[in-house]
Amino acid sequence: MTAIHRFHPTVLREYDIRGVIGKTLGPDDARAIGQGFGTIVVRAGGTRVAIGYDGRLSSPELEQACVEGLMSTGLEVVRIGLGPTPMLYFTVRHLELDAGVMITGSHNPPDYNGFKMMLGKGPVYGEQIQEIGRLVHGGDLETGVGSSRQLDVSEDYISRLAGDYDGTRDLTIVWDAGNGAVGHILRRLTDKLPGKHILLFEEVDGTFPNHHPDPTVPENLEDLIHAVAANKADIGIGFDGDGDRIGAVDAQGGIVWGDQLLAIYAADVLKTHPGATIIADVKSSQTLYDDIAKNGGKPLMWKTGHSLLKAKMAETGSPLAGEMSGHIFFADKYYGFDDAPYCGVRLAGLVSRKGSLAELKSVLPPVFNTPEVRFQVDEERKFKAVEEIVARAKALAGDGIEVNDIDGVRVKTVDGWWLLRASNTQDVLVARAEAFSEAGLERLKGSIRDQLSQSGIAAPDGF
């Protein structure tokens, strides 16, 4: 009889599977995930699945257990070893496999780890993740005699990345791997590119001894900014722990955020895809949407979440999508998944051909905005509070006020816009506001305070 395993209630998330090693996640969970996901793959007609892992200390043990679970369902498992998450995505596409599993804690603290999966060419999220839990909890699992083999795909992957470099002049570039999984391929990638390349923290180290690998946090970019200045570099490029999110700084040390990068990429992509739909998440700047439209594209605002954006891209045939968080997806010349090393190669080519990154960013008008502010609200309260705020906001719509409730509530006014949304992965609400003047920003923050107060929630610091 098949053993029944129960996951900790916090582990099966909206976009992926994630937990704290030794507390909510361990090898037994990894084996059960292999069994549950393997069952889904087999029942979909699949026979071959790839698996990879990031540089966290717990990743090799989780990979071994997950392989055992996958093989127990009768699958052939292709083990690609250590590398960034997009190398796993590449493997599934390049070898035309049926599915993929990546063991990664992404940008979370060192004691976290987790799983990202793909079935066919698409991401696994939402109900499919919950289905893994149901299959495992009920013992409704396929059984068979599978196999596994090791395969080094890194050279094929690196060659594919370097192949789309289209620069015309040599640059000096600083690359910060943050001791994450990108460090495993970064030296070999930059050796294939022209120009001068300075690598920071390329040694893969799951304790992240230099800084945390999350390029959305300004203090994590300080080493990169200093190295750009010291080397008189043209640009600096940073990565998160598993290499699916990019961060960038210009030659003056100015941070270029994910939505600004998307605007720069979009202006270029729209030259070869005139009139195309470009997708961004609800947290992105209005200046991005306006710039897409100015360049002849069709801006589409969509829900936050890398899996959701990938699915929307496939549905609409969009050549480019992205999030403020640095997940950027190229279907133009590439596969439509979030690959930060590939984005780095494309950015280097753009700066080489077009001029400085600061100049490329300067086409966007200056705005005053808050960072993405996350603050704790009880799990059972957060979604209900957003529903209440949506209803009140809609009652105010008209006369210069537009309300978008595709993901939380985003309210556009004459001053700019403000956003409140419930996180799908944590017991937090997310707030952000952007205006064309400091006074306007204060008014928008006041609107957020007022709406939270009416729902009995204290506003976060800074609002």
Q: Where are the domains of the chain?
A: 17-152, 156-361, 368-454
The superfamily in CATH containing domain 156-361 is Alpha-D-Glucose-1,6-Bisphosphate, subunit A, domain 3 (3.40.120.10)
Q: Would 17-152 and 156-361 be classified into the same CATH topology?
A: yes
Residue 400: its pLDDT value, please? 87
The answer to whether 106 is a known catalytic residue is: yes
Q: Which of 58, 106, 284, 447 is catalytic?
A: 106
How far apart are the C-alpha atoms of 106 and 221, rounded to whole Å?
Answer: 17
How far apart are the C-alpha atoms of 350 and 173, rounded to whole Å?
Answer: 13
Least Cα distance to 324 among 262, 407, 277 occurs for: 262
pLDDT in tens, the chain (463 residues): 455 799 999 999 888 899 999 999 999 999 999 999 999 999 999 999 999 999 999 999 999 999 999 999 999 999 999 999 999 999 999 999 999 999 999 888 999 999 999 999 999 999 999 999 999 999 999 999 999 999 999 999 999 999 999 999 999 999 999 999 999 999 999 999 999 999 999 999 999 999 999 999 999 999 999 999 999 999 999 999 999 999 999 999 999 999 999 999 999 999 999 999 999 999 999 999 999 999 999 999 999 988 899 999 999 999 999 999 999 999 999 999 999 999 999 999 999 999 999 999 999 999 999 988 999 999 889 999 999 999 999 998 888 899 999 999 999 999 999 999 998 877 899 999 999 999 999 999 999 999 999 999 999 987 8
Q: Interhelix angle for 59-71 vs 27-43, to 10°? A: 40
Least Cα distance to 265 among 193, 338, 198, 213 occurs for: 338
Residue 30: its pLDDT value, please? 98
The superfamily in CATH containing domain 17-152 is Alpha-D-Glucose-1,6-Bisphosphate, subunit A, domain 3 (3.40.120.10)
Asked if 154 and 176 touch (Cβ cutoff 8 Å), the reply is: no
State the pTM of this model: 0.95
Residue 3: its pLDDT value, please? 57
Residue 2: its pLDDT value, please? 55
Asked if 463 and 373 touch (Cβ cutoff 8 Å), the reply is: yes
The superfamily in CATH containing domain 368-454 is Alpha-D-phosphohexomutase, C-terminal domain (3.30.310.50)
Amino acid present at 31: R
How far apart are the C-alpha atoms of 227 and 230, rounded to whole Å?
Answer: 5
